[in-house]
Structure 1
Amino acid sequence: MDGKKQNKKGTGVKVALIAIFMIICLGVGFIGGSLYPLFQTSIFTKDSLITDQLLSKANVISQYIKSFYLEDIDQEEIESYTYRGMVAGLGDPYSAYYTKDEYEKMMESLEGSYCGIGVLCQKDEETGDVIVLNPFKKGSAYEAGIRAGDRITKIEGESVKDQDLNSIVAQIKGEEGTKVTLTVYQQSTEKEKEFIVERRETENETVTYELLSDKIGYIQVSEFDEVTANQFEEAVNELEEQGMEGLIIDLRNNGGGVVTTAQKMLDRLLPKCLLAYTEDKNGTREEYWAEDDEKFTKPLVLLVNGQSASASELFSGAVRDYEIGTIVGTTTFGKGIVQSIYPLKDGSALKLTVAKYYTPNGVCIHGKGIEPDVEVELPKAFRNSLDVPKEKDTQLQKGIEILKEKMQK
């Protein structure tokens, strides 16, 4: 779960590693975790991971390489992959090592002067591709012909398969007016196509809403970004002005985002109460609270699926624990952990998992997910689709049915 302090059943594409970023121009800080100061010295202690045996064996391998390897040796690459190997040895897909260049690009890409192509993406760890969840209709990617469900396989001719999503986003973003070349496997043609897309400022569309028949409000939240809380508040208020008597919040395929955004959105629904908390390896606990007594009193349904992750699960956990709504769909992804960024003295950086998230009732959902109150699968023909017609959307229709029953009581 992304925060500034901080296999599955599913109805969409199977995703083993989800870390959502809006590839657009935004003046926001780093979403992937907290930034921590440097260790100023390298001290070998008794519990250091760098043992005499490790150093000795590394030296032996080095001598073999220097003596027998056929091609030229890039010393920087050797060092870089040594550090990557240490982090990879943790077996944690959410921890990573960044070279100085990768870290600089990642941080630059999150500053307001750097723009993107207007798409919401997920990383599919099974294939290594980047899945396009939502190309904004006002964005340059949509104008170029990139659609939901398409997969970015290469950036400037380089495969994205073994790259961390942060690095991928950093490459796609850049100065406004410049262009990026993407190789995209298109769902519609089942073929790869090369796109040259202009980077530019794009409005961040994270919340869409409408009033359905029978005075049922529908709000779809694509991710928890800095602007999402205000957009959500506006959507709820507008629907109430239109006479809404029940609400469906759709978090399907929402891979998370800024945890404090989820906190603010829950604060609109719940009175003052504990919403979630984190706990690190030393038992240090940080709590997230609803801060006022305002609450949503109308019938509520929450739609989730196997791609609802991270902050979506924090949101779902609070709805479940306080019993303010009915959760419909399939079991969520199960990502309830926190990553933090540690810059190193040479300009490189580490991203490490440092804590777990817990629901108000003390349940850790990492690796488990949140089971819905009413389990409903999409029709087989639409389980890998990101654009399901409302009349064919069995999860939405079930949510409408449940709301109608609640509204009649």
Structure 2
Amino acid sequence: MRVLIASGIFHPDSGGPATYLYSLLPALQERGYQFHVLAYGDAPCDGYGYPVERISFKQSAPQRWLRYARRYAELAAQSDLIYVNTLGLPRPKVNKPLVLKIVGDYAWERALQRGWIAPDTDLDAFQKRRDLPHVAWFKARRAREARAADKIIVPSVHLRRLVSGWRVPPERIQLIYNAPEPTLRAPSLSQAEARQKLGWQLDGRYLLSVGRLIALKGVQHLIQALAAVPSVRLIVAGDGEFLPHLRRRAEECGVAARVQFLGKVPHAQMSLLMRAADYVAIYSSTEGLSHTLLEALQVGTPVIASARGGNPEIVQHGVNGLLVPHPDLPALQAALQHAFSGGVRDALAANSALGMERFSWQTLVEQTDAALRAVLERP
């Protein structure tokens, strides 16, 4: 089966879709699939075991758009099936079976990035509100794109409900939970040994934030809340256009000495960071189903997360982590104070494996394989 993978990002880029595809494609190759990946970027394309093409960022946006659309049409013509992993790509209409994975609302993200809506606009409320014509256009576009797919894969119940609100027939939407990478295991090192390897203080208190540095990921709120826990250090693993703003925010809040920006960290090193941390924190405006939360729990580290999107499907409040209302600075400060009070971390860490059987890599591969074949085999 020849499958075109169309995505905005791909390994070694950071982000859920890049991580997901990089791990998934070899597993499906073993089941007889042949892949060709088309994405944006400038990283090398060799060494994947399947063709990878990247449309370079070293050209104007219109040039990138035209090149992507042209290559998409050419590669689609040579494929049996198309599996799209990013909404809003320049994809000319082709008469081929189409599966679409949706991990968020492209219209909401675009409106936030361009300042068309307030930074604290709730994703669920955004679905129902009346908007200016340019915002309404993006809403209509993503809904049309979703309705044109033969099948839609979503990684959370929250997203299934969201996408069904775009007038997509429910029978076309399939829930397949994300899962930690099959090779990801808790390091054999203890937390103390991991800290020693990283040069962290053995008796320090560390909060780890992982992800792209964009506004909706909420690192600015973690920085602001840090004043409530004077002895805690925030380690930020990731890069993005929001970094200068975050550095300024740390200075303004008087916590710059306790915030360390690591920049982009190779994914292979992430489990060591997670093992060394007391908590992994994701205080984002929304999440489809966070790979970072799953990976943290997989290595035995409890989590602190916004009670948004798919996060409550992973985090059992007071069991394997803490869920915090968003945006709510006093609640976040109180959650951090509680998290670093005596005995709480150890109790939550002891339960890190509870409920993780729902997020099985083998199940993800089997269900994705079945979904793709079902679309291809339709009369």
What TM-score do you get using the length of structure 1 for normalisation? 0.31
- TM score, norm. by length of structure 2: 0.33
Say which structure, 1 or 2, has more relative contact order (CA 8 Å, 6+ apart): 1
Bigger Rg, which one: 1
